[in-house]
Structure 1
């Protein structure tokens, strides 16, 4: 393999040094737990009888304890299209285990909410905290101490990060994630975006909008744009927790089922009772997280992962900061154009060569750590291979050596741009991130007067009143994790896009989040410290001159005397009740800052 890129090596060494104490403590705890042997050996006969009572023909094999028992942690529900295919997985996994002389049980379920349903709704204020609930629920599922490995069934926004936190906490047992795959292509994403903007302008009615939305989201599987759900699937492959090439195979196909079977068989082989013990704690090291960040940059992935990755890493004793993302972004070329960064969807990306081709390109250019442990074996080079269906089983072949469509996927030498999709911004307004991969170069620097709002609904109302008539920096504050759970502000994308189409220069600055599908609007997001508690955004006033500079990485209020102003104290009483918000008041009190992952449980 070629020599590792200097920036990638330097960032990895910095993370390793920063994490020395926390990682060492974590690994000692995991080794101690692993030395105690298979979990079921520590249960009394009464404990075991309870655990096996409903397992019919598997009871004797479970009681003997000589064959692995797989625990299935599932985020299945049939409201979430990406998770509906999981309804069939447990039976398929149980059958596979039995054929291999082993057993499998559903250990527990975790909640899985759909941000597509809650966008712009009160329920979105629970979205980020659902990650911590999922981690806690995974912990409850695995606490029964009866599993030799875990299979994690989850795809979408907060579900995979929450499951990773749970998997890292139980890192002494092997784990493998089984994806469900993307839905088949429907209405092109650019056409969907056009219809949304026409609705925002008032040119079409709700009936036509609904028709377009239903043509876009039309079947089981993940939404086909490259948002957080599909960024999660990329991440699991780059970090070695999927089987190679499994991320973007459509649901309910013979290859998808064969990959599920192969995943169950791999998990059995990875247990202490199998042939090749591979606990999660050995996979999730600093190299795996660097590989994941490089994948995020090379694909122009979701801004949500800038929040999730630090929280995931902390669960494994690895400490990430925003400078790590910024430095790796500067060294990583953008190799993919997938909507909202381009016109293609993830099915087109997969057909063009997909993750296998991209990983091969990045490895050949020294931009990834090859010498890593994965759930599929040693070395990331395995993930350049392509799964094929032969006689009903998965067989691997070398992946494509050339892109099948360079409008979608390119080699490093002909990258769409020399750096990745995210940029850190710092200044007297705090620090945050901007996704620049879809933002036109002429919009990378915007200096304009501020309009200050405290909800996205207020922004939309001002738009409907035609109040935006000049270049504007839209500041939406008190949207941070302790204020209201840090909801996505995706509903602003069509509105602000219309202003750009009118020739205005517009930027968004917020302590909230944007969707993983945030596109051409320059948006400084996750600004920390958040406005609540006296963060700089709480001092901004209408008319302040704001400079958002993604070229130099700065975020500044240029108004004289800005720093000496008193912070605004908002009335947030309405944020504390309705649609379950009462239950999450303790989370809002103790949640961490956005720049360290906005985490509750780690």
Structure 2
């Protein structure tokens, strides 16, 4: 093992002694010997079995060595990634019945599509939907009649929300069941170019829509390496998926075989069997570090500098952005998947995918192999790729990359650092993702142009006000201000400015996520504007110097002498529509982005 990885892991464990001890005590108290339903009253159990089939009733009424598995699904047919989940419950129930156990559909949880809500009022609900999903899952599991859980979710806030809740019920084993990506559409790089053409007024909305529907065109996960696909990668690094299962296409024989095997496996790791694997004990400090290493090595979504913090807190661990920064100095970039390269997630998987990345990181001593996983083996089991021959599901080891332009060996990385950097300075602490930013743009010194919304930036761009070297500052976008929406409407115009030869950068207390691209973007600024952060004191013309390599940001102004300026933020949030007023309570109690932007305290 790399000594620095060991030191960071030990640092997290030492920092978390008190919180982890409390967590383990909580899940130990929740443990039930025998089937969980044996502990409820006859009236309680009668309600549980009332709608069951006659055969399931017989099993559930026995209260003996037969498991009852909860299915919690984020299915809806609005999200392309989740539409394939429609037939999963029947497939799962049949597989579990063959083993003499029962599965019950415990709950459907809300699942919103960030792609649909980008730039819309609904995007201000997106981050908080993670905590709503966690609470919805907790409601399902609160019936206390389940011996394990299968969690069906893929996209941005959904997997973190499901996992946070599953950890709250950490005495139960858990397996996450993916559904797979859609087939490759038009190249992501071409899609980005067309968006920039539209931003410049070179094509009309009909041409833009035609390109978009060729990119997002069928059931399955979007094929760029955003938060949804980063979620799937992390589930493998955490040992919560079956090995190599993240990016197998929906509806294929292999996908169905993997779903069936996941259903069988959850029955084998309940407390009723010898391989009992409670989630709360399985996820430890080594697992958390493995997840962070995987994120850095693959150039994954910056959203996980928030979500992984919240997930770790749910398991009793305290991690922060210093940990990400320390790991990034040790972990090389081994994958280039759009927006960090030209390939999409299907091409990444064909090149060796997650199994090959894990293999190389283990060889470099950058991952802990001695962790618990749903396979009953260490992380080395995740260096294999599944295949289905006839009715037989088998795994074979990935020995080499099929395409060095997409995945590199550990000794020949794309970059020595994974590129998730911590920025500190006059405005506070923030995150930069450098893996897609050309080296020539890793530093900038330019005057600030200050805005309070991405729509205002777009209008300034269209009027030609931004045709110059500048640092775009967008304040009032943090979790307490408006739910911390993703600001992807900014990327096409800023990309155009950079292509025109201007040195530009973005500084914001908002988010950009896995689609962060070629423009230097200092995001998640903490403290946020509305919480008194100095980002609210920046004025037009202040000279901002950013050096992402050294991790510094300075402002040539006496910010301490200025009063905060959040404008009419409070007035605007008092009149929110589109459901946003229902989330006022969550905005008022949410903690900072670096603390996981969670409302659970």
TM-score (normalised: structure 1)? 0.98
Partner of 1:451, secondary structure, is strand
What residue number does 2:427 align with?
Answer: 429
What residue number does 1:461 align with?
Answer: 459
What residue number does 1:566 align with?
Answer: 563
Runs of 4+ in 1 over 2 A off after TM superposition: 35-38, 572-576
CA distance in 1, matches of 2:547, 2:143: 51
Q: State whether residues 178 and 263 of structure 1, in contact with CA within 8 Å, keep that contact through their aligned partners in structure 2.
A: yes
What residue number does 1:243 align with?
Answer: 242
Q: State whether residues 461 and 467 of structure 2, in contact with CA within 8 Å, keep that contact through their aligned partners in structure 1.
A: no
Q: Deviations over 1:476-512 (max 9, x none)?
A: 0000000000000011011100000000010000000
What residue number does 1:376 align with?
Answer: 375
Gaps of 5+ in 1: none
- 1:38/1:558 CA distance change after superposition, 3 Å: farther
CA distance in 1, matches of 2:523, 2:35: 45
Q: Deviations over 1:15-52 (max 9, x none)?
A: 00000010011111112222554321111111111111
Equivalent of 1:407 in 405, 408, 428: 405
Gaps of 5+ in 2: none
What residue number does 1:293 align with?
Answer: 292
CA distance in 2, matches of 1:533, 1:550: 25
What residue number does 2:133 align with?
Answer: 134
Query: For 1:249-268, what aligned pairs fall within 5 Å after superposition?
Result: 249-268=248-267
- 1:101/1:261 CA distance change after superposition, 3 Å: same
What residue number does 1:159 align with?
Answer: 158
Q: State whether residues 534 and 568 of structure 1, in contact with CA within 8 Å, keep that contact through their aligned partners in structure 2.
A: no
CA distance in 2, matches of 1:421, 1:383: 24
Partner of 1:410, secondary structure, is coil
Stretch deviating more after TM superposition (267-276 or 135-144): 267-276
Equivalent of 1:528 in 526, 529, 552: 526
Q: Deviations over 1:71-99 (max 9, x none)?
A: 00110000000000110100000000111
Q: State whether residues 460 and 495 of structure 1, in contact with CA within 8 Å, keep that contact through their aligned partners in structure 2.
A: yes
Q: State whether residues 175 and 262 of structure 2, in contact with CA within 8 Å, keep that contact through their aligned partners in structure 1.
A: yes
Partner of 1:415, secondary structure, is coil
Equivalent of 1:42 in 16, 39, 44: 39
What residue number does 1:312 align with?
Answer: 311
What residue number does 1:11 align with?
Answer: 8
Q: State whether residues 254 and 392 of structure 1, in contact with CA within 8 Å, keep that contact through their aligned partners in structure 2.
A: no
Stretch deviating more after TM superposition (118-127 or 278-287): 278-287
CA distance in 1, matches of 2:597, 2:552: 22
What residue number does 1:338 align with?
Answer: 337
CA distance in 2, matches of 1:386, 1:569: 51
What residue number does 1:91 align with?
Answer: 90
Question: Does residue 31 of structure 1 match 2:9?
Answer: no
Partner of 1:277, secondary structure, is coil
Q: State whether residues 480 and 531 of structure 2, in contact with CA within 8 Å, keep that contact through their aligned partners in structure 1.
A: no
Query: For 1:158-557, what aligned pairs fall within 5 Å after superposition?
Result: 158-399=157-398, 401-557=399-555
Question: Does residue 74 of structure 1 match 2:73?
Answer: yes
CA distance in 1, matches of 2:473, 2:19: 37
What residue number does 1:150 align with?
Answer: 149
Partner of 1:452, secondary structure, is strand
| CA deviation after TM superposition for structure 1 residue 469, in Å | 2.5
| CA deviation after TM superposition for structure 1 residue 121, in Å | 0.4
Stretch deviating more after TM superposition (11-20 or 37-46): 37-46
CA distance in 2, matches of 1:534, 1:371: 44
| CA deviation after TM superposition for structure 1 residue 7, in Å | 1.5
Partner of 2:515, secondary structure, is coil
Q: State whether residues 68 and 274 of structure 1, in contact with CA within 8 Å, keep that contact through their aligned partners in structure 2.
A: no
CA distance in 2, matches of 1:469, 1:251: 45
| CA deviation after TM superposition for structure 1 residue 574, in Å | 2.3
CA distance in 2, matches of 1:319, 1:232: 20
TM-score (normalised: structure 2)? 0.98
